[in-house]
Amino acid sequence: MATQIRISVFVLVAGIVLAALAVRRTEGARDELRFDAAKLKDRTSWIQVNAEPYQMPAPVAALCAAGPLAGSSQKDPHASAYITVYVNKIGRDAMFAKQAQRFPEGSMIVKEKYSTPEDRTPLLYTIMRKRTAGYNPKVGDWEFSVVGPNGTQVQAIGKLENCQGCHLGKSESDFVFRPYVKLQ
């Protein structure tokens, strides 16, 4: 009987320890996906691509109009879209290369979207993150995210069809638009 109690206590303690480790691992995975727009100002990690807000051409902005906010009462972030773009260090060389290149795994491109070039509060952020080969071959293994204006609330993430539909036409540049880049 005492041996059975010891075994039961051991199994219970082992289960608690394993559950705690699983929670910690899950939190770490969530942290990896968490985006904090305040970090864009950290020039050791992020490079601002365009010095001035860039107005998206109307046809391109219209392609985004059926995005995650469609049907909501929020102002359409694509009606008159201006963007400021950032890239992380991993994607820097590919972003600024004269000839389009494949972005390395781990590259991240962040677009702050505004209604006017004078706005200081973004309507939202869109993010492209280059994942491992095979994640999303349809669009060069990019993962897409939409983050709310607070810079941390993820509204959508993954293989977002509305994003992919637009980026499919840019296969020659690893599915990345770069008209706002001053090429090296």
Q: How many CA atoms lie within 13 A of 78 on its CB side?
A: 18
For residues 84 and 21, what is the distance between their CA atoms, to the nearest angstrom?
A: 39
> What confidence tier does 4 reach under pLDDT thresholds 50, 70, 90?
low
26 — pLDDT class (breaks 50, 70, 90): very low
Residue 25 has pLDDT above 70, yes or no: no
Q: Which residues of 84-101 are buried (b: 16+ CB within 10 A; e: fewer)?
A: bbbbbeebeebbbeeebe
Q: What is the pLDDT of residue 68?
A: 46
CA–CA dist 14, 34 (Å, integer): 30
**DSSP codes of every residue in 30-56:** HHHH---GGGGG-TTTEEE--SS-EEP
On the CB side of 56, CA atoms within 13 Å amount to 25
- pTM, to two decimals: 0.75
The pLDDT, as a whole number, for residue 168 is 93
Please give the single-letter amino acid code of residue 51.
A
Cα(155)–Cα(105) distance, integer angstroms: 23
Q: What tens digit of pLDDT does each residue of 65-111 get?
A: 544 444 344 455 445 689 999 999 999 999 999 999 999 999 999 99
